[in-house]
Amino acid sequence: MESNEAVGLVETVLFLENEAVDLATLRRITNLPRDVVSTSLQALEEEYSKPHHGVELVSFGDSYCFAPKREHWESVRYRYGRKNDRRLSRAALETLAIVAYSQPITKAEIEALRGVSADGMLKQLVNAGLVRVVGKKDSPGKPVQYGTTREFLKRFHLKSIAELPKLGEIERKKFEPDE
User: What pLDDT does 86 receive?
Assistant: 62
Q: Residue 16 half-sphere exposure, CB side, CA atoms within 13 Å?
A: 9
Q: Is residue 179 part of a domain?
A: no
Last residue of a domain, one of 25, 46, 80: 80
User: What pLDDT does 30 receive?
Assistant: 94
Same domain? For 57 and 95 the reply is no
Strand order in the sheet with 21-22: 21-22, 63-68, 55-60
Give the chain's domain count. 2
Same domain? For 72 and 94 the reply is no
User: What pLDDT does 173 receive?
Assistant: 63
CA dist list (Å): 134 to 59, 64, 66, 124, 147: 21, 23, 27, 16, 6
Over its length of 179 residues, how does the chain's per-residue pLDDT go in tens digits? 678 899 999 999 999 987 888 899 999 999 999 999 999 999 999 999 998 998 889 887 788 888 888 788 777 766 765 555 567 888 889 999 999 999 999 999 999 988 888 888 899 899 888 999 999 998 888 999 999 998 898 888 788 888 888 877 656 666 665 55
User: What pLDDT does 104 receive?
Assistant: 93
For residue 47, the one-letter residue type is: E
Q: Is residue 85 part of a domain?
A: no
Q: What is the CATH number of the domain that holds 141?
A: 1.10.10.10
> 63 — phi, psi (to 5°)?
-110, 150
User: What pLDDT does 1 receive?
Assistant: 63
User: What pLDDT does 27 receive?
Assistant: 94
Same domain? For 97 and 169 the reply is yes
User: What pLDDT does 81 receive?
Assistant: 59
Last residue of a domain, one of 33, 56, 80: 80
Same domain? For 98 and 76 the reply is no
User: What pLDDT does 11 receive?
Assistant: 93
Q: Is residue 58 part of a domain?
A: yes
User: What pLDDT does 69 receive?
Assistant: 83
Same domain? For 94 and 166 the reply is yes
Same domain? For 94 and 170 the reply is yes
Domain span including residue 63:
3-80
Residue 132 bridge partners (DSSP)? 147
Last residue of a domain, one of 34, 51, 80: 80
User: What pLDDT does 174 receive?
Assistant: 63
Same domain? For 17 and 72 the reply is yes
